[in-house]
Amino acid sequence: MNPADPTVPDPTVPDLPATGLTVTGLTVTGLTVSRGGIPVLEGIGFTLAPGRALVLRGPNGIGKTTLLRTLAGLQPPLAGAVSVPAEAIAYSGHADGLKATLTVAENLGFWAAIHGTGGPGAALEAMNLAALRDRPAGALSAGQKRRLGLARLLVSGRPVWMLDEPTVSLDAASVGLFERAVRAHLAGGGSALIATHVELGIAGAEVLDLAPFKARPPAAGGRGHPFDEAFA
């Protein structure tokens, strides 16, 4: 990992509204995550400084989603520590959490109210959804839904973004909007952890390949798991 100098300002960062972020670095040490009680990744350790992005790579099924869900506090790790509380993390999974019968503005306004941040206006602008604000979310295209799901991150006001395949079904222009939003987030002192298979134009993004952390079965020298021992 040899990231570009993060002190070089990104000239394309637009003036997005300040979200009142507290600067927090994320440190993960010796993390073992499991799916259905079976370890899938073990001994993960990395540091994510404020203003930086980390791209997670690895083949399908390696455990990228499991890792992100564990970090977001949706499931407990088998071992290891995460330096940042789950309250600092905005998680965006495969599903966008949209209600088909609510309008775009109502969907986003709900999450803004839940997170106690301002109205959805600025986030709608940033994701180019302002013209669609009164349309029911059920009538949006897949890419528009995805943009609405990503706009939720902007209203969450949380410093660490955890994004699981954020660019699925986005066109090139929308990917550009997304990259701009991430850059603005990083410039504001936030950080982002992104699991993706595509190249994102985010300056200074480090890459973490998860393949070396794949959990080994106990027979191969892995650390095993109480479940296996109980049924051995």
Q: Please report, as ranges, the residues that interact with another protein according to CB under 8 A.
A: 69, 72-76, 86-87, 89-91, 93-99, 101-102, 106, 110-111, 113-116, 152
CB of 199 to another protein, least distance (A): 26
Two tokens, residue 96: 């966008």
> Using alpha carbons only, what angle is made at residue 112 by residues 119 and 149, rounded to the nearest 5 degrees?
110
Return d(Cα 174, Cα 73) in angstroms, integer. 29
Cα dihedral 41, 190, 10, 55 in deg (nearest 10): 10
Please, which residue, 93 or 201, has the CB nearer to another protein?
A: 93
CB of 181 to another protein, least distance (A): 18
DSSP 147-212: HHHHHHHHHH--SEEEEESTTTT--HHHHHHHHHHHHHHHHTT-EEEEE-SS----TT-EEEE-GG
